[in-house]
Amino acid sequence: MKRVLIAVFKQEVGSFNPKPTQFNDFEIRRGSALIDDLRPTNTTTGGAIEVFTERGNIEIVPTYAAWARTTGGLVVQQDLDRLIDELLAEVHANAQVDGACISMHGAMAGASEGDPEGRVLAGIREAIGDVPIVANLDLHAVVSQRMVDMTDALVLLHTYPHVDMRQTGRRSAKVLLEIMEGGAKPTSARVQIPLLARGDQLITTTGKFGEALAVCQEIEASEGGLAAGINIGNPFTDTPDLQSNIFVTTDNNPERAEKEALRLARFMWQHRALFVADLTSLEDAVQLAEATDGLTVFSDAADSTASGASGDSNAIFCGLLEHNYSKKALLPLVDAPAVSKAHAAGVGATLTLDLGGSIDPERFTPLSLEVYVQTLSDGDFTYEGGLPAEAGRTAVLIHGQHAILATEHIAASVGLRIFQAHGLEPTDYDLVVCKSPNGFRIHYEALAARIVAVDVPGSTSANLKSLPYIQCVRPIFPLDEEVVPPFSLEEV
């Protein structure tokens, strides 16, 4: 019976979010708890466990799982060092294996370290030696050459918004088994693209990006195609490796891998103008919502708690008040000081609170409002995918006809459950604000009469030129003019 090591190391960092990610922001699982807790979830690890279990002749060797409860700012360096040291200690203690399947998001960064995933993979390679390593990644990963060098294949998500986490875990496990048991000899190609991509054309069911990912799926389904993916990076993880990439892995056919990767890179570059977000001004967005019959959903991608933002933006709420929005709105807000005062006052109290700007005051000025405290809770709930959420103490605050779900900690406001768990049904409102660029569509598209991507400030703004990049690859589209890709646009 062959032994396969598994480990998990996940966080998506927003470099422009001033609130750092700390050790206590991570869920940690060791040994068998890793399998027990992740097996049923819609995660890449759950999918990989499923395949290895189905195979029957594989002994799963669980080591260490660390995943952040939500996205956040740069990881405190000593906390990052602790996470990596603990993970690698478990790997060294279980190093006699025949292969490894590693689950990562790929867009983590420390306060002084831009490639923690590469460091982890290098440490795993050093511990287990020359046996196959396959890593699965989010397509928003920021991929270093070290990550490529330390693995035999990288397997990426194929959907946006992301729905194929479990399937991707299954794909990565099957690639590993093809190498371990099937005699496959992985030959990989990487093509780098100086491109940061945003906007609705990334939606894989309807956008141009979906056409390219369909080609990746065709490659994987073909004879000798092991893995193919398009990595567009997280535009808010400002590290030296930030750009887009194509990855293709074939079975002992490097020429084909290179040819397919170049074909996909040319496609992405040819259509790069489509991968710029189309945003609506706040005033126009409010007018659209006012005129809409049925539910309107505002995408506040600029303060996306699913992309690395702080969640304390009050920009849209200020706009609703300024432009006299007359209907009922439901909004999320991360604001620990306001929540603390609401809990001290108790349910049924009416008090004046400063709302917003508690984390990122350089972007958001607190708004002083009288609110009614409708409900209070501990903020624990379960996301749609089955993972636990700990939003910290939570308060539902009412101002006029509007409801604000205020949380002590950052939580992803992508699905419906964050509201429903606190007694709020989004369909009871005329307008719901989701702090997410597109992930919310999985849950809201069938419910919404209108969806509007709003142009407001924030550390994860889709208006990329508004962000203070320092480290990413330059020149890069769309930040710079006349960018020339490092590959021929003509097929040879």
> Does 90 score more than 80 pLDDT?
yes
Q: So what's the pLDDT on residue 53?
A: 97
Average pLDDT, the chain: 97
Task: Yes or no: say if 67 and 14 are a contact pair by the CB < 8 Å rule.
Answer: no
CA quadruple 171, 173, 179, 185: dihedral positive or negative?
positive
Q: How confident is the model at residue 200 (pLDDT cuts 50, 70, 90)?
A: very high
Task: Yes or no: say if 432 and 454 are a contact pair by the CB < 8 Å rule.
Answer: no
pTM, whole model, 2 decimals? 0.94
Average pLDDT over residues 107-131: 98
Q: What is the pLDDT of residues 418-439, one digit of tens each?
A: 999 999 999 999 999 999 999 9
Q: What is the pLDDT of residues 350-404, one digit of tens each?
A: 999 999 999 999 999 999 999 999 999 999 999 988 888 889 999 999 999 999 9
Q: So what's the pLDDT on residue 110?
A: 98
Q: So what's the pLDDT on residue 246?
A: 98
> Does 109 score more than 60 pLDDT?
yes
Q: So what's the pLDDT on residue 301?
A: 96
> Does 492 score more than 60 pLDDT?
no
Q: So what's the pLDDT on residue 446?
A: 96
Nearest-angstrom CA–CA distance, 107 and 456 = 24
Task: Yes or no: say if 72 and 21 are a contact pair by the CB < 8 Å rule.
Answer: yes
Any idea which residue has 């709003």 for tokens?
454
b/e burial code for range 264-290 (CB count within 10 A of at least 16 → b)? bbbbbbebbebbbbebbebeebbeebb
CA quadruple 55, 56, 57, 61: dihedral positive or negative?
positive
Any idea which residue has 């046996």 for tokens?
131
Nearest-angstrom CA–CA distance, 435 and 322 = 20
Q: Residue 211's Cα: distance from chain center in Å?
A: 21
Q: Which residues pair with 377 in a beta bridge?
A: 394
Q: What is the pLDDT of residues 126-183, one digit of tens each?
A: 999 999 999 999 999 999 999 999 999 999 999 999 999 999 999 999 999 999 999 9
φ/ψ (deg, to 5) at 354: -90, 120
Q: Which residues pair with 398 in a beta bridge?
A: 372, 403
Q: Strand ranges (DSSP E) for 159-274?
A: 186-193, 225-231, 244-251
Q: What is the pLDDT of residues 56-85, one digit of tens each?
A: 999 999 999 999 998 999 999 999 999 999
Report helix, strand and coil shares of the chain as percent, to nearest 5: 30, 25, 40
Task: Yes or no: say if 65 and 29 are a contact pair by the CB < 8 Å rule.
Answer: yes
Task: Yes or no: say if 426 and 295 are a contact pair by the CB < 8 Å rule.
Answer: yes
Sheet architecture: strand order including 394-399? 280-281, 450-455, 296-299, 431-434, 329-334, 402-407, 394-399, 367-377, 350-355
Q: What is the pLDDT of residues 6-58, one digit of tens each?
A: 999 999 999 999 999 999 999 999 999 999 999 999 999 999 999 999 999 99
Q: How confident is the model at residue 453 (pLDDT cuts 50, 70, 90)?
A: very high
Q: So what's the pLDDT on residue 376?
A: 98
Helices 208-221 and 254-270 cross at an angle (nearest 10°) of 170
b/e burial code for range 441-471 (CB count within 10 A of at least 16 → b)? bbbbeeebebbbbbbbbbbbbbbbeebebee
